[in-house]
Amino acid sequence: MSGNGVSVEKNPPVKLPNEPVITPQIVAEHGLSPEEYQRVLAIMGRTPTMVELGIFSAMWSEHCSYKSSKVWLKKLPTKAPWVIQGPGENAGVIDIGDGQAAIFKMESHNHPSYIEPYQGAATGVGGILRDVFTMGARPIANLNALRFGDPAHPKTRHLVSGVVAGIGGYGNCMGIPTVGGETNFHAAYNGNILVNAMTVGIAPTDRIFYAAAAGVGNPLVYVGSKTGRDGIHGATMASTEFSEDSEEKRPTVQVGDPFVEKLLLEACLELMATDVIVAIQDMGAAGLTSSSFEMAAKGGLGVIVELDKVPMRETGMNPYELMLSESQERMLIVLKPGTEEQARKIFEKWELDFAVIGHLTDTERMVLSWHGDIVGNIPIPPLVTEAPVYERPWTLTPLPAVLDAASVPVPKDWRASLLALMSCPDLASKSWIWHQYDHLIMGNTAIRPQDGDAALVRVNGGHKGLAMTSDCTPRYVQAHPETGGRQAVAEAWRNITAVGARPLAVTDNMNFGNPQKPEIMGQFAGAIMGMAEACKVLDFPVVSGNVSLYNETEGRPILPTPTIGAVGVIEDIAKAVGSRLTQAGLGIVLIGETQGWLGQSLYLREACGREEGAPPPVDLAVERRNGDFVRSQIALDRVEACHDLSDGGLLVALAEMAIAGGTGMEIAQPAGNVVPSHAFFYGEDQGRYVIASGSADDVIEAAHAAGVPAVLLGYSGGASLVVRDLLSLPLSDIKAAHEAWLPGYMSATE
Amino acid sequence: MKARVHVTLKNGVLDPQGKAIGHSLNRLGFPEVGDVRQGKFIELELDETDKAKAKARLDEMCRKLLANTVIENYSIELVG
Amino acid sequence: MKARVHVTLKNGVLDPQGKAIGHSLNRLGFPEVGDVRQGKFIELELDETDKAKAKARLDEMCRKLLANTVIENYSIELVG
Amino acid sequence: MKAAVLVFPGSNREGDVAQAIELVTGRKPQMVWHGDGDFEKTDLIVVPGGFSYGDYLRCGAMAALSPVMAEVKKRAAQGVPVLAICNGFQIVTEAGLLPGTLMRNAHLKFVCSDVHLKVETSQSLFTNRYQAGQVIRVPVAHAEGNYFADQDTLKRLEDRGQIAFRYCAPDGTVDGTGNPNGSIRNIAGVFNETKTVMGLMPHPENAVEPMFGGSDGKALFEGLVEALT
Ligand SMILES: Nc1ncnc2c1ncn2[C@@H]1O[C@H](COP(=O)(O)OP(=O)(O)O)[C@@H](O)[C@H]1O
Ligand SMILES: [Mg+2]
């Protein structure tokens, strides 16, 4: 091979034996439109080979190119003084002080999880972990946001059981605690479940690794597992004519090997502690194609990949399969020249494959060789600059009419209504799920699932803690995407605040239907507008994210679900509070204004069987003012427990606090409050918190001084939840209803 | 009647367990061991005397529960 | 040469997986299923042509690693 | 007290136990790689939790055959104390240092949860800071913690006082309610005959700080320090 690829550049690629003629059908099966194929021809100046076509197809897929979403994603605020790296790298990076950075991202594995729930979810976790440790971070926590179909749908139980086992199976083996998440059920997800996984890691700010390649001649190194025929997508047919072994002509599901990933993590971190890495990139979607391509493109360089040097798991693999395989647990590294042996020793110690598979060139071309022949030769810059970008037509969802609380029936039986809400699929305890996740490993979990609005994890070797959460209320987004987008960000910010931490930044996972439909594109646009506004007002930049489109089956789309993952910091973890009510005699104080918003509420859906009205509006200035106030009171040690109000409203939040801490309370709607009681207790007005305080008077006085609505509802104590004139329920009954639904559902048949 | 069911990974599907076993055997002084694949072996007692019927039922059990047909193959054997 | 090894739990040793499978099958509408036992099925490629030698080596592999002879039995089959 | 913590490919709670030991002794333990059959002499050997070799084939089976375990067996025979936690417990039973075996949890799921343990005896290096009958709260995190041994072995274990901990209800009642995995006779931890080797499924190392899971596990490490320094 020539050293810099200049001579090979002119050589037309060699056709492989059995290489099919590219027909319009083959182009279509690669997901390229006729216009997109014309662009390919223009860039190449000739007909591409199969492997070249496969590369265009992968790089220009929605997944890799963000062609439908790009124009909108640009509207999200991504900067703040504490942002070290915003979107565009493997994960976002923020400064958390003391020379430390938090590195985090969320990613979907929706479709694979529907096809094969265990492996789909497991490899989703594996993928997001790699995104984070590629940048030099040791992962310290995982979260997962799950949406399943109607519990009554015949597939739901099987999907829940497989997805949860898969997430646990991978994260537990890796030794990363899974500390939080959310789980919803709705018929709109019957044919398209959502599995969004998030990882948070920590790295020294001066040792963060990026993907941009540098240094002509530097070796390109492949490490990790061998490459097999996993997940070679729409490309199935291509392999049909192409592969030698007819047995292999079926789509394969990616199988994860968390044991190898654990070794890969340790080996990479060991390598990163030396001084030999120029650039590093994990092989995720579109495997070797996107990783090598992105490294070269970001560095403005070219690359030669000698495909026959790639470690292979199966015999008879061809260049097409090697470039497009999505085998898991692999990484691509550009090393400093002459450090190959030093690096090799580390990977051999961890019993991982290590192979030099090429080098960087100055040609800005990707040249693929196969046993000495050139089989692919693509110019890199036009593939990036000429990539299709669509401004798809969009129509915004109009704001539905506001629902008058008077039109919503008052519960006939308050006890029954509360028990029904506490045991409905969306609100029932998810302990059946998180008990299958090791949430304690590493010994740093200060707030566990269900013990607070955000999980709280100590940063090793200090007093600092990171708070993390994931949130979205899809029914609000469906009703009015702008409001829903705003609300998802606000709730994440509120959840971080409720444990006493300072919200810092966001990662998002935009899950939507078919963007070629204007109403779906409108949902996307609306959600982004709402999110952008909320992020701006709350100083809560987006530093990473992921888009998953086409989540629809037979024309039925999912609820638009822009999942927000968020991270915040608390300097002294001992000051943090959870939501468990464990002491009698505390004042129960409601912070924020209650108008009694029942539109799109869970009360309306679960107790009245109606999904209608406008979702609760989010006043971001109020949100910020109320949250800053709550955080200040926590910092003053005036708060024993704090819970934000969200799904189910006030009464549900109070019940959750009481059963989690085993302490009851006696409360009442404040005298003179004219909101109808069902709207007061079940309304889902935003920007609200409940706090339990030993100095409630001081809190209320401070609130009024700050212009924050605050009112004393009653006091903690006893073993029942008592609401004057309305209900008295033993905590044991509430707890039983709350805890029983999911295990009962999962152990039933049919 | 007794039945024996073998559940094995389809060709081409990664078998992390088999790989680790092969590796371990090599290290333990068995260099002659090449590829290793691990599968499941399930023995069932059936209260059924009709072979054809038993087979059909077992087939259903495999598809419903015993095998994950996205990544696994299965084979059924009736004994006695 | 190819070898197939079956590893099964000894009689009297608790088999939580087998029990759970049996239970699930009963609930899924297969009342005819009685006792279920789950074992392992391991296929190995061997670079060895002498059958007797291969068998002896496999026996050693089973005792050393593939089976825990305190609780498991094993059987070895050579194919082709 | 000088301690060594073994590290296998796939171990993942070695850092947790090292942190706990450092908290109690003020001194970092020595970390010993699985291939190292000749590590420095120590007062205590810890076989930590995790998924050695991915828990493939049988939990602990591959790790039990490593060079370091051959050395551990030798030293254990000479009386060097061995603390084996979770995957470590699985490894030492596979290695024959403790009787019985750890099967798949009866409900077949991984379980991470606080459990209550009844301390069966205070007459050991590991439990001297506890009282017999005392109830402590520590977490478990495993998919294969269902202890099983044949009737003869169980009888021998019980007759000789080789049961270290049993799962129980918060009030100390030993019945099925507190048992997270189906373990026979609610056994959570056992000793060898000389009580110099202890294996247990729960994680005392994750219960050494009040803010992070409680501190009932700390006394186990303090007791070891007292006995071994
Ligand atoms: N899939 C999951 N994985 C881990 N924890 C979960 C999951 N689903 C729910 N949880 C936990 O259950 C608790 C309740 O969830 P949720 O009702 O969504 O909380 P909130 O409304 O306060 O944001 C939280 O602590 C959350 O972290
Ligand atoms: Mg909340």
Residue A740's CATH number = 3.90.650.10
pLDDT tens digits for range A398-442: 999 999 999 999 999 999 999 999 999 999 999 999 999 999 999
- Residue A249 has a pLDDT of 42
- Mean pLDDT confidence for B18-41: 96
Rounded distance between C-alpha atoms, residue A532 and residue A74, angstroms = 10
pLDDT of A233 reads 63
Tell me the whole-structure pTM to 2 decimals.
0.95
- Whole-angstrom CA distances from D226 to C37, D43, D44, D229 are 47, 12, 12, 6
Q: With 0-12 CB in 10 A as exposed, 13-18 as middle and 19+ as buried, what is A338?
A: exposed
Calculate mean pLDDT across residues A230-243.
48
Q: Concatenated DSSP letters for D61-74?
A: HHHHTSHHHHHHHH
- Calpha distance D159→D169 (Å, rounded): 24
B78 alpha-carbon distance from chain centroid: 14
Three-state SS across A457-498? EECCCCCCEEEEEEECCHHHHHHCHHHHHHHHHHHHHHHHHH
Q: Are A281 and A332 a contacting pair, CB within 8 Å?
A: yes
- Please state the atom number of ligand 1 nearest to the C-alpha of residue A450: 25
Catalytic residue IDs of D:
86, 203, 205
Q: What is the mean pLDDT of residues B74-79?
A: 94
Mean pLDDT across chain A, nearest whole number?
A: 93
pLDDT on residue A234 = 41
Residue nearest to atom 16 of ligand 1 (CA): A182
Give the relative orientation of helices A258-272 and A156-174 as an angle to the nearest 10 degrees.
40
Q: Please give the Cα distance from A738 to A39 (Å, whole number).
A: 57
Q: Is A403 a domain residue?
A: no
Residue A699 within a domain: yes
Domain encompassing residue D163: 3-228
A236 φ, ψ (degrees, to nearest 5): -50, -50
Nearest to B9 by CA among B35, B34, B33, B38: B38
Contact of A600 with A618, CB cutoff 8 Å: no
Ligand nearest to the CA of A471: 1
Torsion of CA D14, D17, D19, D24, to 10 degrees: -150
C65/D106 touch (CB, cutoff 8 Å), yes or no: no
C neighbours by CB contacts (3+ pairs under 8 Å): B, D
Is A33 annotated as a binding-site member? Answer: no
Q: Do B11 and A248 touch (CB under 8 A)?
A: yes
Q: What is the spatial distance between Cα A482 and Cα A619, in angstroms, rounded to a whole number?
A: 12
C30 phi/psi in degrees, rounded to 5? -120, 70
Of A253, A314, A327, the CB nearest to B70: A253
CA A259 to chain centre: 23
| Chain D residues in contact with chain B using a Cβ-Cβ cutoff of 8 Å | 53-54, 56-57, 62, 65
Cα–Cα dist A270/D111, whole Å = 31
Contact between A477 and A510 (Cβ < 8 Å): no
- pLDDT score, position A11: 61
The answer to whether position A709 is within a domain reads yes
Question: Which amino acid would we find at residue D5?
Answer: V
Whether the CB-CB separation of A324 and A22 falls below 8 Å is answered with no
Contact list, B44 vs chain C (CB under 8 Å): 22, 25, 33-36
Cα end-to-end span (Å), chain A: 62
Closest residue by CA, ligand 1 atom 3 = A181
Ligand lying nearest the CA atom of residue A121? 1
Assess contact for B46 and C32: CB atoms under 8 A. yes
pLDDT band at A494 (very low <50, low <70, confident <90, very high): very high
Does position A389 have pLDDT exceeding 60, yes or no?
A: yes
Helix (H, G, I), strand (E, B) or coil at A563: strand
A236 pLDDT more than 70:
no
- CA–CA dist D189, D120 (Å, integer): 10
For residue A157, the surrounding DSSP H or E stretch is helix A156-174
Ligand 1 center from residue A180 Cα (angstroms) = 6
Token representation of residue A166? 């898969």
Establish if A597 belongs to a structural domain.
Answer: yes
Q: Give the model's pLDDT for residue A240.
A: 36
- What is the pLDDT averaged over residues A640-654? 98
Which residue of B30, B60, B78 to mutate against C (max C Cβ within 10 Å)? B30
Q: How many structural domains are present in chain D?
A: 1
Q: Which two structure tokens, joined as six digits, stand for D192?
A: 């060898």
Contact D158, D151 (CB under 8 A): no
- Name, in order, each residue with C-beta under 8 angstroms of A345's C-beta and a sequence gap of 6 or more: none
Q: How many domains does chain A have?
A: 1
From chain B, pick out residues whose CB is under 8 angstroms from the CB of A328.
14
CA distances from D141 to A260, A387, D76 (A): 21, 48, 26
Residue to substitute in A144, A430, A686 for testing ligand 1 pocket (most ligand atoms within 8 angstroms of CB): A430
D186 alpha carbon to ligand 2 midpoint, in Å?
A: 37
Query: From ligand 2's centre to the CA of A454, what distance in Å?
Result: 7
> Measured over all CA atoms, what is the biggest interatomic distance in chain D, rounded to whole angstroms?
45
Distances (CA, A) of A660 to A449, A579, A733, D4: 11, 8, 13, 39
Question: For residue A197, what are the contacts with CB-CB under 8 A and spacing of at least 6?
Answer: A106, A107, A108, A109, A121, A124, A125, A127, A128, A142, A143, A144, A145, A167
Q: Which of D57, D101, D104 sits opposite C70 (nearest CB)?
A: D101
Do the Cβ atoms of A425 and A151 come closer than 8 Å?
yes
CATH T-level topology, domain B2-79: Mth169; Chain: A , (3.30.1280)
Extract the residue ranges of chain C whose pLDDT is less than 70.
none
Distance from CA of D17 to the nearest CA of C (A): 28
C-alpha distances in Å from residue D165, one per residue of A400, A625, D138: 61, 52, 12
Residue A9 pLDDT greater than 60, yes or no: no
Mean of per-residue pLDDT scores for chain D:
96
What's CA A565's distance to the chain center, in Å? 6
Quick one: tokens of A552?
């629809």
Look at A4-18, A217-231, A240-254, A535-549 and tell me which has the smallest mean pLDDT: A240-254
* A230, A247, A255 ranked by CB distance to B16: nearest: A255
If you measure from the C-alpha of residue A443 to the centroid of ligand 1, how many angstroms do you get, rounded to a whole number? 20
Separation of CA A247 and ligand 1 centre (Å)? 44
Q: Is A539 labeled as ligand-binding?
A: no
Which tokens is A311 given?
């470690």
With cut-offs at 50, 70 and 90, classify the pLDDT of residue A242.
very low
> A461 pLDDT exceeds 90?
no
Angle between helices A518-537 and A620-635 (to 10 degrees): 40
Distances (CA, A) of D34 to A204, B6, C17, D11: 29, 35, 31, 10
Query: Quick check: A599 pLDDT over 80?
Result: yes
Q: Binding site annotation covers A111? A: yes
The alpha-carbon gap from B22 to the nearest alpha carbon of chain D, in Å, equals 11
> Per DSSP, which regions of A251-362 are E strands?
277-282, 302-306, 330-335, 353-361
- State which of A161, A170, A179, A183 you would mutate to test the pocket of ligand 1, scoring each by most atoms of that ligand within 8 A of its C-beta: A183
Please provide the DSSP assignment of chain D as one string: --EEEEE-TTB-SHHHHHHHHHHHHSSPPEEEETT-SSPPP-SEEEE--B-GGGG-SSTTHHHHTSHHHHHHHHHHHTT--EEEETHHHHHHHHTTSSSSEEEPPTT-S-EEEEEEEEE--S-STTTTTS-TT-EEEEEEEES--EEE--HHHHHHHHHTT-EEEEEE-TTS--SGGG-SS--GGGEEEEE-TTS-EEEESS-GGG-SBTTTTBSTTHHHHHHHHHHH-
Closest ligand 1 atom, CA of A453?
Answer: 22
What CATH number should be reported for the domain holding residue D171?
3.40.50.880
For chain C, list the strands marked E by DSSP. Answer: 2-9, 33-46, 72-79
Bigger pLDDT: A304 or B80?
A: A304
Nearest CA in chain C to B6: C41
Of D102, D142, D116, D100, which is closest to residue D12 (Cα–Cα)?
D142
Which residues of chain C does D104 touch, with a Cβ-Cβ cutoff of 8 Å? 16-17
Helix (H) or strand (E) holding A698: helix A696-705
CA distance A249 to A242: 9
Domain that holds residue A614: 577-750
ipTM of the complex: 0.94
User: Which one of C14, C19, C64 has the shortest CB-CB distance to D65?
Assistant: C64
Is residue A109 annotated as part of the catalytic site, yes or no? Answer: yes
Query: Chain B partners of C73 at a C-beta cutoff of 8 Å?
Result: none
How far apart are the C-alpha atoms of D146 and D167, rounded to whole Å? 11
Which of D54, D110, D206 is nearest residue A259 as measured by Cβ atoms?
Answer: D54
pLDDT of residue A284: 84
Phi, then psi, of A270 in degrees rounded to 5: -65, -40
Extract the tokens encoding A165.
Answer: 């086992």
Chain D, nearest residue to B25 by Cα: D62
CA distance B77 to B79: 6
Over residues A524-539, mean pLDDT:
98
* Token representation of residue C36: 């279920």
Task: Determine the distance separating the centroid of ligand 2 and the alpha carbon of A490, expressed in angstroms.
Answer: 10
Concatenated DSSP letters for B27-63?
HTT-TTEEEEEEEEEEEEEES---HHHHHHHHHHHII
| Rounded mean pLDDT, A42-64 | 92
Ligand 1 site residues (CB inside 6 A) read: A 144, 146, 178, 180-183, 430, 433-434, 437, 449-450, 453, 471, 495, 646-647
Q: Band of the pLDDT at A248, cuts 50, 70, 90?
A: very low
**Domain membership flag for residue A181:** no
